[in-house]
Amino acid sequence: MATRKLLLLPGDGIGPEAMAEVKKLIEMMNADFNTGFQTEEGLVGGSAYDAHGQAISDADMEKAMAADAVLFGAVGGPKWDGVPYEVRPEAGLLRLRKDMELFANLRPAICYPALAASSSLKPDVVEGLDILIVRELTGGVYFGEPKEIIDLGNGQKRGIDTQVYDTFEIERISGVAFELARTRSNKVCSMEKHNVMKSGVLWKEVVAQTHKAKYSDVELTHMLADAGGMQLVRWPKQFDVIVTDNLFGDMLSDVAAMLTGSLGMLPSASLGAPDPKTGSRKALYEPVHGSAPDIAGKGIANPIAMIASFAMCLRYSFNMVEEADRLEKAIAGVLDDGLRTKDILSDGGTEVSTSQMGDAVVAKYKVLA
């Protein structure tokens, strides 16, 4: 039996509750389908800070580097608002992304038919929506130097962040977007702000060159990122794959997430480059939603984004395509059955708890097998 090594980092807030539902799935798949998942657990974010004063320990970083894939819950909460900047909960996630070189962040926004009514947009605008945001994740203003607050000595301070991109970073992320587009509707829209930013000028240029050199079969368009945000809420179905930088991707993916009815629905995959020898790539899977401290511990969080992140893990880290398809069908199935956590509840739905939703997905998966 193959061994598949997973590191679980539940984190803070609703992270552990959502992760508990994925653990049920893993246990069931190991017992009933001999999938051979081996799990280890670690701490990240506020919970890691409470335990050892860091947002993630070196020991847990080592585990992450050694795992076939990392499943990540969520980090942060008001409890840690006052901790030093270097060890704030988010620093754990950023270290994982940077040290594991997870430059490609895939954020699909799919509107399940059962949820079209839960979107803040009209159902016909979002029904059948299936777009993929490919966000650059290890560069740009998130990591550019200098990044500091300096004292100007006259009672004023200056806050500085640096937006910086090199050619190779734009080439490799647009390559990922073009490759993925070929498996979908073959369209890529690149978003930047070349009208105000030098990094945007370079971004647009390199995406166009990469397209011309290797991917001219894919339809490529360019859009300014602000206009892109507007188009996403106006008529999102015009898009197939969107490729954009770290900061714009952060914002645009929250917008896209909300189109689908709830932030509680969206998974993501963060991938490194394939190892030239083994073809395997470092990977971390996390829901797009955050730690939602206001509802943590109440048993009402929606575990679907976390479960769908595990489906992405099956697909991208273990090439378990059949199982990934089945898990995604199981999610759609329980929604069709009318089961709803509070965030997606609408008329006629049956309200269920976090764990009831998880149990229902597990049961549906078995039925579909």
Hey, which residues are catalytic here?
Answer: 142, 193, 226, 250, 254
The entry of Mg ion, ligand IPM, none near residue 90 (CB within 5 to 8 angstroms by kind) is: ligand IPM
Asked if residue 250 binds Mg ion (CB under 5 A), the reply is yes
Total residues contacting ligand IPM by CB under 6 A comes to 3
Residues 203, 197: Cα–Cα separation, whole Å: 10
Asked if residue 90 binds ligand IPM (CB under 6 A), the reply is yes
Shorter beta-carbon distance to ligand IPM: residue 93 or 241: 93
The answer to whether the annotation marks 12 as part of a ligand binding site is: no
DSSP string across 159-198: EE------HHHHHHHHHHHHHHHHTTTSEEEEEE-TTT-H
Q: Are 56 and 95 a contacting pair, CB within 8 Å?
A: yes
CB of 288 to ligand IPM, least distance (A): 6
CB of 290 to Mg ion, least distance (A): 7
Shorter beta-carbon distance to ligand IPM: residue 199 or 246: 246
| Positions 204 through 263 that interact with ligand IPM (CB under 6 A) | 250
The 3-state secondary structure of 287-337, one letter per residue: ECCCCCHHHCCCCCCCCHHHHHHHHHHHHHCCCCHHHHHHHHHHHHHHHHC
Residue 211 identity (one-letter amino acid): H
The entry of ligand IPM, Mg ion, none near residue 191 (CB within 5 to 8 angstroms by kind) is: none
Give the residue closest to ligand IPM by C-beta.
90
Residues 197, 205: Cα–Cα separation, whole Å: 13
Question: Which residue among 25, 56, 61, 93 contacts ligand IPM (CB under 6 A)?
Answer: 93
Q: Residue 324: which of 15, 99, 35, 41 has the closest Cα?
A: 35
Q: Which stretch binds Mg ion (CB under 5 A): 58-66, 246-254, 295-303, 314-322?
A: 246-254
196 Cβ contact list (under 8 Å, min separation 6): none
Can you give the binding site for ligand IPM, defined by CB under 6 A?
90, 93, 250
**Which residues line the annotated binding site for NAD(+)?**
77-90, 290-302
